[in-house]
Structure 1
C-alpha cells in the first residue's frame, strides 16, 4: 500500500533482478492494456476498487506468464464493479491470448467468462465442458442445480407409459426423450425431472398445462420471476413483463417437455 502503482507492478520483476529498461517497458505495456497509464504515480489508497484490482492483474501480466491462476479475484467487489471487471478480464484474455484458470463460486462469472468450465463438488470433478454444453446437458443434478439463475426446478416422480407422473401431475414425455429413458431402464423407477424456469411458460397449450398459484411475483424490469405452487410442488417460472402478475393469482402454466431433463433419483 505504500508503493505507487508503477512500483507495485514492477515489484516482482525487480525481485528477479530484471533490467530497468525491460521493467519500464513491461510495466508501461501492461498499464496501457489495463487503462492504468495515468495512475502509475498514484498509491493504491487513491484508487477505486476496480483500479486496485487491475493493478493486481498488472503485477501478474508483466511477468509474461503462459498461465494465469485467479482465485476469486472479484469476490470483494460490489455488484456493479464485478460486472465491469468481468468484461475487462475477458477482454484482457483475448488480448494476451494466454491460458487463464479462474476459480469462482459464482456461476454467473463461470458462464460469462469461460471457454470451458470445470465444475467440482467436494474436490471431485462433476463435469467439464463449454458453458452452453454444461447448461443444456448437465451431467447430474448437482451441475443442473448449480448452473443457471434462478436454479433448475426438480420434481420427483416416476415414468408411467409416456407420462411423467407424481401424485398431482401427469406430463407427456416427447418420444425421443422417452426412448432414451427406456434404454436406460428408467421406466417405473423413482426419477427426478428437472426443468428450468424459462422452460415453463405462463400460457395454455394443447397438452402439459397445469394450474399454478403465484406466491411471490418479482419484477426484475425485463421479466417477472414467479414463485408458484403447482400440485404441492414449489416451482419457479420466468415470464415476460408484458403481462402483470401478482401474489395470490392463479395462472395456467405450460411445461416445454422438449427441454426437460431426467435424473436417477437414487444417485
Structure 2
C-alpha cells in the first residue's frame, strides 16, 4: 500500500499528492511517469511525476480531476492509501547542457515540466519558461517555475493574465537563439508549439501520455506514429521529437473512449455506480 503523505489543492480540481514510495523515489528521473490505481477495481491512471525525494522516500504527482478515477483520487486525504503504484516508467528526459532551453507547459502539465526545467537549470542551461492555462485562476506552479527559470512568460487562453495564447513564442524564436524546446501540455498546444518551431529548425521535444493499460509495452494501447513508425509511448517515450509526431492520429485515438469516460463519470455522480 502507498500512503498519501501530503495533499494540497493548487487550484480548483487540480491537486498535488506526495506518496510514500521509496523504491520508486530512489530511481525516478525527470520525464518519467507512474501508473496508479485508486482501488483494486479501479482503472490504471498514468501520471507524469512532478518530483521525487529519495531521502524522504516520496514521489510527487499533480492530478487534474477530469473523470471518474481522477475524481476518486481527489477525494482521498492525507494518510489514506492506494493499493497500486507502478514506476518509474518510461525513458528519462534527455538532460544535458544544450545552451538555452525553452520550457513551455500548459494546464496541469506545468507541474511535471517544472521537474525538467529544474534539472536543465541545475545542469547549467539558460532556462526560459512559458506557462499557461485556460484562465488566470487555473495557473499553477508559477512561483516554482520562477525559481528555476532565467525568464518566465505567463499566458492564458482568454487573456486574463499575461499573454493571450502562444503569442509570445514566435517573437522569442525570431529574436533569440533557442537551442532546444521542451513542451508539455494539451496535445493541441504541443502540436502548435511544434509547428511554430519547425521553420526555425529548433529541436522540439513533446511529452506524450496517451491511453495506456499496462505501461510496459505489452498491450500496444499507447501506440503513436513518430516519423512514420509505430512507437509505444510507455517504453519508447514519453518524450518524442515533436516535428515527427502524427498529432492528427494521436488526437483521434485520444477520443476513442470519450463516451465511456463520460458515462462512468455520470454513474459516479449518481451514487458511485460502476460500468
For the criterion TM > 0.5, the same-fold answer is no
Tell me which structure has the larger Cα radius of gyration. Answer: 1
TM-score for the superposition, normalised by structure 2 = 0.23
TM-score normalized by the length of structure 1: 0.23
Higher helix share: 1
Q: Whose relative contact order is higher, 1 or 2, with alpha carbons under 8 Å and at least 6 apart?
A: 2
